[in-house]
């Protein structure tokens, strides 16, 4: 009983000392990297900040997963100037992209005995004497790609409107643009800036000139990714068109317009045909009648002579 009483007195005195020291020493903890409401582009990131703490308090870093599970991270490294850092994982290389994560840096007297790997806290976060919280979104960087799939290179098109389809992978701050140039034009024209959905399959409608009935017109259509803020209607000389971070280009051929044959008036055509047939029939009948009468006259003449 005496030992238990002395142990309780000891712990009470220790807590009182910590409280008095904490009151005399500022307690602050900050997360400097990443920034609040920022975007991170990889699942394995560096978290760093600064801390001021009296003896007896522990600095822990926690990450809340999209499934609302708190994970206590391995102990951060703290230098002599109060700068701390550690690497944390927001999901893994296969899962967890396009998700929101909460990161908390905390000073607490509770000893959680963190290990070398993140560990879940079924009971949630401990009581904090000081803490700082940031929320970030993970949006992994993709390898930039763009490709025009339809129409195919060298395809013959009619116009004046044409649907263009393709595939693209882009990142935040990088836009997709479609530029069109006829062979006899001096400028490229930005005709569309389609959104790239998560599937990467984009589509847009561009305009060509009205086809005529005499000339073949050749076009170049270029899809490119660029950080520049372009809009439909922008025009560029060939040497001034942004080259794009990546691009895809096809050449198209617009054939002369094939006009349908003139509409025939079948009534008058039939009438003329019938009239011609009647005239020819009448002439034939008259000729047959003439030759028949002549033959009969000669036959009668021979009969009288005999």
Mean pLDDT throughout 131-153? 91
- pLDDT (tens digit per residue) in 76-130: 999 989 999 999 999 888 888 889 999 999 999 999 888 889 999 988 899 899 9
Residues with Cβ within 8 Å of residue 169, at least 6 apart in sequence: 142, 143, 144, 145, 146, 196, 200
Helix (H) or strand (E) holding 274: helix 266-305
The domain ranges of the chain are 22-138, 145-254
Query: Which residue from 149, 201, 196 is spatially nearest to 176, judged by alpha carbons?
Result: 196
Peptide bond into 151 cis (omega under 30): yes
Please give the pLDDT value at position 72: 95
pLDDT at 264 over 60: no
Write down the CATH number for the domain with range 22-138.
2.60.40.10
Quote helix, strand, coil % in the chain, to nearest 5: 20, 40, 40
The strand order across the sheet containing 156-157 reads 156-157, 246-254, 217-226, 175-182, 188-192, 235-236
Please give the pLDDT value at position 88: 94
Write down the CATH number for the domain with range 145-254.
2.60.40
Q: Is 145-254 the same fold as 22-138?
A: yes
In the DSSP assignment, the letter for residue 57 is -
Q: How far apart are CA 88 and CA 61, in angstroms?
A: 9
Please give the pLDDT value at position 291: 63
In the DSSP assignment, the letter for residue 42 is S
Q: How far apart are CA 288 and CA 240, in angstroms?
A: 86
Quickly state the pLDDT bin for 301 (edges 50, 70, 90): low
- pLDDT (tens digit per residue) in 206-260: 998 887 767 788 999 999 999 889 999 999 999 999 888 899 999 999 887 665 5
């Amino acid at each position: 009983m005496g030992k238990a009483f002395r142990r309780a007195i000891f712990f009470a005195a220790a807590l009182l000392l910590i409280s008095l020291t904490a009151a005399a020493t500022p307690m602050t903890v900050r997360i400097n990297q990443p920034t609040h409401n920022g975007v991170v582009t990889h699942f394995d990131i560096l978290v760093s900040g600064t801390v001021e703490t009296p003896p007896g308090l522990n600095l822990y870093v926690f990450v809340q997963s999209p499934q609302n599970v708190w994970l206590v991270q391995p102990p951060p490294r703290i230098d002599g100037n109060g700068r701390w850092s550690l690497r944390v994982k927001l999901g893994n290389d296969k899962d967890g992209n396009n998700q929101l994560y909460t990161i908390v840096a905390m000073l607490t007297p509770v000893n959680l005995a963190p290990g070398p790997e993140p560990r879940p806290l079924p009971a949630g976060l401990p009581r904090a004497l000081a803490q700082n919280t940031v929320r970030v979104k993970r949006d992994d960087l993709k390898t930039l790609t763009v490709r025009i799939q339809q129409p195919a290179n060298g395809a013959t098109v009619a116009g004046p409107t044409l649907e263009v389809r393709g595939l693209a992978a882009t990142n935040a701050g990088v836009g997709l643009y479609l530029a069109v140039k006829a062979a006899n034009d001096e400028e490229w024209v930005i005709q569309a800036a389609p959104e790239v959905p998560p599937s990467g399959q984009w589509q847009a409608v561009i305009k060509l000139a009205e086809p005529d009935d005499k000339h073949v017109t050749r076009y170049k259509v270029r899809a490119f990714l660029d950080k520049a803020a372009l809009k439909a209607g922008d025009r560029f000389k060939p040497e001034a068109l942004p080259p794009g971070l990546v691009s895809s280009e096809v050449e198209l051929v617009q054939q002369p317009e094939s006009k349908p044959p003139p509409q025939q008036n079948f009534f008058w055509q039939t009438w003329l045909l019938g009239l011609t047939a009647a005239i020819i029939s009448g002439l034939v009948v008259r000729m047959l009648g003439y030759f028949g009468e002549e033959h009969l006259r000669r036959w009668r003449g021979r009969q009288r002579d005999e």
